[in-house]
Amino acid sequence: MYNKTRNIDSAFRHIKAFSIVVIICCFLLCGIVLYKSYEQSARVQDKIYILSGDQAVMAFAFSRKDNLPVEAKSHVKLFHEYFFTLDPDDKVIDANLSKALYMADGSAKAQYDNLRETGYYSNIIAGNISQQIIIDSVRVDFNVTPYAFHCKATIKIIRPNSIVTRNLVTQGFLRTVSRSDNNPHGFLIEKWETVDNKDIKTESR
């Protein structure tokens, strides 16, 4: 009788220990499943699907710091392209300059006003002149805010009888602002100035 009682006691202890192990394993399994689910959910949220025609193209979301150099340089390039790309059409000129002025402060507006007062845009329209810009390089210093930038470019002024190639060097600062449809990169160009703008060569057409 005593042995039977001891066997039942031992069996009960084994069942109890086994039950505890099973419960701990269940908790561990639930924890792993929850962690993996959260990890997968976070990974999915970093993916964006863009519909291009009849195909879904996957894109990935990154923090702004990851793309800061690319976006800053792109902002400077786009501003210069809008500001200096001109054709003998007042609507084209106004559209391009309107986009450029959203990307910069009053220093760009002052240069625009100065060119307008001297009849620069009127001469482009009257002379059937086109102006194109080729960005050679953009350097941005990200060590201190606002970020100082230095842009080197070449301008081609296409007249009916000649093509003038002109050197262009500008500099200024980039301040971080809110993104918008008019300013998708979220930067504002400040204290913008032209350092050099000399003719390199003139070719006959």
What CATH number should be reported for the domain holding residue 138?
Answer: 3.10.450.230
Q: What is the 3-state secondary structure (H, E, C) of the chain?
A: CHHHHHHHHHHHHHHHHHHHHHHHHHHHHHHHHHHHHHHHHHHHHCEEEEEECCEEEEEECCCHHHHHHHHHHHHHHHHHHHHHCECCCHHHHHHHHHHHHHCECHHHHHHHHHHHHCCHHHHHHHCCCEEEEEEEEEEEECCCCCEEEEEEEEEEEECCCEEEEEEEEEEEEEEECCCCCCCCCCEEEEEEEEEECCEEEEEEC
Q: What is the largest CA-CA distance in the chain?
A: 121
83 and 123 within one domain: yes
Is 58 domain-assigned? no
Is 59 domain-assigned? no
pLDDT tens digits, 77-113: 999 999 999 999 999 999 999 999 999 999 999 999 9
122 and 42 within one domain: no
C-alpha–C-alpha distance, residues 177 and 32, integer Å: 41
Structure tokens at 140: 């941005």
Is 187 domain-assigned? yes
Structure tokens at 162: 């000649």
Structure tokens at 184: 């998708």
Q: Per-residue pLDDT for 178 more than 60? A: yes
Is 55 domain-assigned? no
76 and 43 within one domain: no
Counted domains in the chain: 2
166 and 78 within one domain: yes
114 and 43 within one domain: no
User: 13 lies in which domain range?
Assistant: 2-49
183 and 130 within one domain: yes
Q: Per-residue pLDDT for 29 more than 90? A: no
Provide the percentage of residues in the chain whose pLDDT is more than 70. Answer: 81
Structure tokens at 20: 């505890």
ω into 146 cis (within 30 of 0):
yes
pLDDT tens digits, 129-140: 999 999 999 999
CA-derived radius of gyration, the chain: 32
